[in-house]
Amino acid sequence: MNASAHSPRKDEEVYASWSSPSRLFKKRDREFFVNIGAIVFLLSVILVFVREFVLIATVLSIVFLIYVLSTVPPEEIDHRITNLGIESGGHFYRWEECADFWFEEQWGQHMLVLRLFMAPRVIILLADQPRDKIRERVAQHIPFREQPDRTWVDNAARWITEKIPLEKPQA
């Protein structure tokens, strides 16, 4: 990590700081992997008949990624909200780079989501941080959205997740 990641910037005021996992994590059970395996097997058989071997390799690579992300716990990283921007995991996002923000919840974990002008979204797990305090500080610099604009990819992912559950819902 570079030296500037830990040294305060000129006229920097820290509003909040905390540590949380670097990404969402949910330990998956055997049923999840059996369902994934069955879908991949059927898809691979179909792709063999149409001689799409590169596509089979791509599907197997994605399954391997899913397996790794479901079995390897994430590392803990530090986050800071300051008057100059947000630092998360050693990356600093200036307020001028941020378009807006909102909160989401998945698998019982609360997240702060930043939409940047020239980059993908930044997702920061809040751990035990109160959402009201974070919202108050971030909203001083960028607009808050109650409901973010959903793209067709967001809608398609939600539809597939609802229609093809890979594990039993938690009670």
Residue range 98-149, pLDDT digits in tens: 888 889 888 788 888 888 888 788 888 888 888 888 888 888 888 888 877 7
H or E element that contains 53 = helix 53-71
Packed helices 30-49 and 53-71: angle between N→C axes, nearest 10 degrees:
170
Instruction: Let me know whether 38 and 120 are in one domain.
Output: no
- 28-84 pLDDT, tens digit each: 888 888 888 888 899 999 998 888 889 989 989 998 998 888 888 889 999 999 888
Q: What is the mean pLDDT of the segment spanning 2-29?
A: 74
Instruction: Let me know whether 58 and 96 are in one domain.
Output: no
Instruction: Let me know whether 18 and 81 are in one domain.
Output: yes
Nearest-Å Rg of the Cα atoms of the chain is 20
Instruction: Let me know whether 101 and 45 are in one domain.
Output: no
Three-class SS state of 45: helix
pTM of the prediction? 0.68
Instruction: Let me know whether 68 and 79 are in one domain.
Output: no
Domain around 106:
12-22+75-156
Total structural domains within the chain: 2
Instruction: Let me know whether 84 and 130 are in one domain.
Output: yes
- 99: CATH: 2.30.29
Q: Is residue 164 part of a domain?
A: no
How far is 148 from 34, CA to CA, in rounded Å?
Answer: 34
Angle at CA of residue 43, ends 59 and 72, nearest 5°: 40
Instruction: Let me know whether 99 and 143 are in one domain.
Output: yes
Instruction: Let me know whether 47 and 98 are in one domain.
Output: no
Q: Per-residue pLDDT for 168 more than 80?
A: no
Instruction: Annotate 130-152 with b (16+ C-beta within 10 A) or e (fewer).
Output: eeeebeeebeebbeeeeeeeeee
